[in-house]
Structure 1
Amino acid sequence: MSDAHDHDDDGPHEGPIKTPKQLIVTVVLSFLVPIFAIVLLVKYVGADSKPAAGTRSLEPEAVAQRIQPIGTIVLKDASAPAVLRTGEQVYTAVCSACHGSGAAGAPKLGDEAAWGPRIKTGYEALLTSALKGKGAMAAQGGGEYSDFEIGRAVVFLANKAGGKLEEPKAPEAAASAAN
């Protein structure tokens, strides 16, 4: 009672590939399609993400600027002889920023009209203003320069504006180190 259209498990099996040409195409594509897919995945994963136009945050200079140290340590020999700077050297390093241009109402170097009333108050009053600060000028005492060096700068500024102030005497420790 078997029907001619019934499939017999022992008989030949037919699939979608019916010719040798179809078999070759199927075998070749079964190798090429995965290789092509792998190549595309590698290109996608390996592609560098490009920052947006105008973004410089990943450039080496920008990174170096962000990771630079906040401060530095300077080691000095405490037993080394003190080198005292002249009034002009201190003026150039500290005072010239404001007294050279007249910024924040500072009297300019050599301006006799602006310095005249200040010189009349005397050396001690000028030195106190420099050490403790006055108006927009920050206190200069206790910084990198000694009070003696600040005093030299005060005399330099005053004398450039017509003052006749004498250079302050060197402190004992500096005087003995200089000899």
Structure 2
Amino acid sequence: MSEAPHGNPIKTPGQLIAAVVAGFAVPIVIIILLAYYVDNTTRTGAGTDELAPDEVAHRIAPIAQVSVHDANAPRVYKTGEQVFQAVCSACHASGTAGAPKFGNSGDWAPRIAQGFDTLWHTALAGKGAMPPRGGTSPDDYSDYEIGLAVAYMANRGGANFQDPPKPAASAAQSASGAAAASAPAAAGAETNAQTTAAMAAIASIPQAASAPAGGAAGQSADASQAGKALYQQVCQACHAAGILGAPKFGNKNDWAPRLKDPMDTVYNYALHGKGQMPPKGGSTASDADVKAAVDYMVSSVK
């Protein structure tokens, strides 16, 4: 029984030299490639961008940033779509927490039936799981911008609401501000005293005036009498003297720019607040009594 002969793969001097060279060259090439890869992926310090001025500034920049705005610059309002994307879409895009889903006419139909003013008020005051103003503050988005978002969503759900009227700069406030700047110090002090008194009166209204307002409405079914009573108990704190930019009672010039808007808009301002005036003047009177008070003040300039 014979064994198979064992063959040597290297049979010539040239094959031997090639094998020796390959045995040294291949590992060296592999080591060089690995070193180059590691050097390019992990190196820091000299020879990299880590110490470039922009990179250093980015690393040491504070987390909080201060944004300075010109208080006298005209305000640029967001569109309804922009407010929706920034605030409302968190729930309304998918119908989370019972929110009517954006673009779903079935979800929006019962809301649309309530009317725009009711939807606007609900967005401002909050309802169910939705916080007031969608969790924002008046400094973030004005009542007008919230109204634009409400109209935008409702119209995509089948409504045909008009956008709320855009707030106009108060000519009366501008004039009073210019007068205050040029008035004597004594007059300025008197104005400040009146303003302080008005703010104190507004702050005390919910405790002192809410009950009498309801009582006056109960004593008389006459809307004009209820409106007069609410004016005397609540509204005159500012409207009697035209404090805080409020149109002065009986002053046609103050009321003229307000009455250019439809009465529903004027009612809406009284119900939901405008500028420094809180909703319902800070009282808990009924909507009907608040509208009656507006009618009473408007009748004084006709």
TM-score, with structure 2 as normaliser: 0.34
Structure 1 counterpart SS, 2:89: helix
Match of 2:83?
Answer: 90
Partner Cα distance (1:97, 1:89) in 2:
13
Aligned to 2:110: 117
Q: CA deviation at 1:85?
A: 1.0
1:136 to 129, 132, 140: 129
Aligned to 1:146: 142
Q: Tell me: higher relative CO, structure 1 or 2? Use CA pairs within 8 A at least 6 residues apart.
A: 1
For structure 1, the 5+ residue unaligned runs are 1-63, 175-179
Separation in 2, partners of 1:100, 1:92: 9
Specify whether residues 172 and 157 from structure 1 end up closer, same or farther in structure 2 by C-alpha distance, changes over 3 A only.
Answer: same
* Within-5 A mapping of 1:46-61: none
1:159 is matched with 155
Paired residue type of 1:93:
A
Instruction: Determine the C-alpha separation between the residues in 2 that align with 1:133 and 1:143.
Output: 17
Query: What SS does the corresponding residue of 1:157 show, helix, strand or coil?
Result: helix
Matches within 5 A, 1:18-97: 73-97=66-90
Tell me how large the CA RMSD over aligned residues is: 2.0
**Rg comparison, structure with higher value:** 1
More helix by share: 2
Q: Distance in 2 between the 1:101 and 1:73 partners?
A: 34
Unaligned segments of structure 2, at least 5 residues = 1-58, 171-302
For residues 86 and 139 of structure 2, the distance between their equivalents in structure 1, rounded to whole angstroms, comes to 12
Cα distance in 2 for residues equivalent to 1:129 and 1:143: 19
Per-residue CA shift, 1:117-151, capped at 9, x if unaligned? 10010111100110011111111152400100000
Q: In structure 1, what is the equivalent of residue 164 of structure 2?
A: 168
Residue identity (%) = 49
1:64-121 C-alpha deviation (Å, 9 max, x unpaired): 9xxx76x654322101111111101110110001000111111110111110010010
SS in structure 1 of the partner of residue 67 of structure 2: coil
In structure 2, C-alpha distance between the alignment counterparts of 1:80 and 1:172, rounded to whole Å: 14
TM value normalised by structure 1: 0.56
Distance in 1 (CA, whole Å) between partners of 2:163 and 2:96 is 26
Change (3 A) 1:130 1:104: same
Q: For 1:169 and 1:121, locate their aligned partners in 2 and report how far apart those are by CA, in whole Å.
A: 19
Indicate whether 1:108 and 2:104 are aligned.
Answer: no
CA distance in 1, matches of 2:103, 2:68: 37
Following the alignment from structure 2 to structure 1, what is the Cα–Cα distance between the partners of residues 65 and 168? 31
